[in-house]
Structure 1
Amino acid sequence: MNAVVHFLILLVVLSAAAFILFLLRAPFWLILLVIVAVYMAVTTVPTFHTVYKSQNLRAIDRFLLRNYRKPIFNYAYNIGHGTDEEIRNSLRTIIDKSSRGDARHVYSALLGVHSGDGDEVLAHAGKINPGPLRSYYYAYGTALNGDLDEAGRIAGKITDEWMKHTIYAVIAKKQGNPEEFRKEAKYAEDASVGIQHYLLHHNFRKMAESFNLSQEGSSMMQLVENTAVELKDGRRGLILGVRDNEEIVQYDVELGDGEIITVFAEEVRRPV
């Protein structure tokens, strides 16, 4: 659904609310208050749900694509579609822009995770305020350094289920146990919501590739529906539909601003 359709729906809803209140002879201040409340609900609730509550990977992916220029969403989108270096660079951008010390240490620990540097993870974990995240990165860094028993012991005390089972999945990965990895990864994904769910799903997908596993719901970067692509003119978008007319292939692509266009296969530079 593009921006124009969203605007028209919002306009209809607000007009209907105002008209009903007018018929009921409601005071002007009440009409204004209801219009503002409806506007906030229509514009913010769906976004809040997608970012914090949804497990709809496609909806989250589309949200991230529309907000790709914001550092935190750029990082999340790169987890699903970027290279390892793009992921690390996006984290460095977040760290450079972080004014709070705790946030800097959290993202620095995360950078250590994506660099596979257990010592770096542990160095920053020790500077994070006491709580689940501190224990999570202590366990993660410990697992990366090969002390799997200690990592499991730390993870067992973490109350957040997605954190606990993520560490168990990492331990299974280090042990070369694909079945245990698959089980723990699913537990972690099922316990997570919003962008965290998206991050875990794609991180586990990448980890699973070393086992030649196929995580449920994952997709390889092919020119099929729900593939993010970069066009030859530099624009980026998400393939919503594929039109295969004998030898001519076209894609319906939703751009970052919500506009939907149809392009020939030759106009696509690469999947991203």
Structure 2
Amino acid sequence: MKRFRWSIAVYFALFVFVLFALFNDYSPILIVGGAVVAVLLVFIAQFYYPAVLEKRVDRVESFLLSQKNNPALYIQYVLANRLDDEARTVMEKLMSKHKQVAVQATFKAAYGLYRKDMAAVREAVPHIRHADYRTYYETVLLLEEGESAQAREHLESIKKQWMRSALLAEIELKAGNSKTAIHHAREAVSASRGVQRYVLHKEYERTLPQAVKAVS
């Protein structure tokens, strides 16, 4: 609601600025430039910052709840909170909206992992375009097959710190090393922002609650 009011205020200010500029014969370039800057500010405040940069989990959750008409984002909230029935519905919308195999593959892998359906994950992995995400799910598969040493070696090529730390946390947790798992889980949350921070935080609330207690 606050974001909505802020957007209205910005657009109203933009409207007033355009009227003022027109009545005072300002340069069209200045008018267009001002409008573009205003729209960019709204985009950053309303979408980019909460989705990518925000550290507060409650604010990210509020943002995700406002994205029910955007299944690509709302699926993150649904899976993070384990809303099984809604997850199926949102996945159907995603598959209907996005026809590209590479786009579908990322969502299928995430949904397969959520359902513990490793066959679905394995089928989706070769089609994932982004190297880090592809390697992430390949490492998950190795870990599920009991290949912990190979999984640990495989994840080294991942550039994203939160991914590496999250995988290391899972490896250590499966090995029964809870203290080390908590350490890596904290690293993962600290290295993440926005939607990904929210997803990790919700997961560790269930599996490693000690990891999120000390993370601001």
What is the distance in 1 between the residues matched to 2:72 and 2:214? 24
AA in 2 matched with 1:12: A
Task: Pick which of 40-49 and 81-90 moved more.
Answer: 81-90
What is the distance in 2 between the residues matched to 1:143 and 1:24? 67
Shift of 1:203: 2.0
* Cross-structure match for 1:207: 207
What is the distance in 2 between the residues matched to 1:4 and 1:90? 28
Is the aligned partner of 1:122 residue 2:119? no
AA in 1 matched with 2:32: L
Shift of 1:13: 5.6
* Cross-structure match for 1:30: 29
**Equivalent runs, 1:1-272 vs 2, <5 Å:** 1=2, 3-4=4-5, 6-12=7-13, 15=16, 19=20, 26-27=26-27, 29-46=28-45, 47-87=47-87, 89-129=89-129, 131-208=131-208, 213=210, 215-216=212-213
Structure (1/2) with the larger strand percentage: 1
What is the distance in 2 between the residues matched to 1:217 and 1:85? 32
Shift of 1:155: 0.8
Q: Secondary structure at the match of 2:127?
A: coil
> Are the aligned partners of 1:78 and 1:87 in contact in 2 as well (CA < 8 Å)?
yes
AA in 1 matched with 2:13: V
Q: TM-score, normalised by structure 1?
A: 0.67
Deviations 1:174-208 (A, max 9, x none): 22322122111121122222212222221222222
Shift of 1:162: 1.5
AA in 2 matched with 1:11: F
Q: Can you give the 5+ residue segments of structure 1 that lack an aligned partner in the other structure?
A: 219-272
State the identity %.
Answer: 18
> Are the aligned partners of 2:67 and 2:73 in contact in 1 as well (CA < 8 Å)?
yes
Structure (1/2) with the larger helix percentage: 2
What is the distance in 2 between the residues matched to 1:162 and 1:74? 21
Q: 1:6 to 1:107 in 2, by over 3 A?
A: closer
Task: Say how many residue pairs are matched.
Answer: 213
Q: Which has the larger radius of gyration?
A: 1
Q: 1:53 to 1:5 in 2, by over 3 A?
A: closer
Shift of 1:108: 1.4
* Cross-structure match for 1:245: none
Q: TM-score, normalised by structure 2?
A: 0.82
Instruction: Between the two structures, name the one with larger relative contact order (CA 8 Å, sep ≥ 6).
Output: 2
- CA RMSD, aligned part only? 2.8
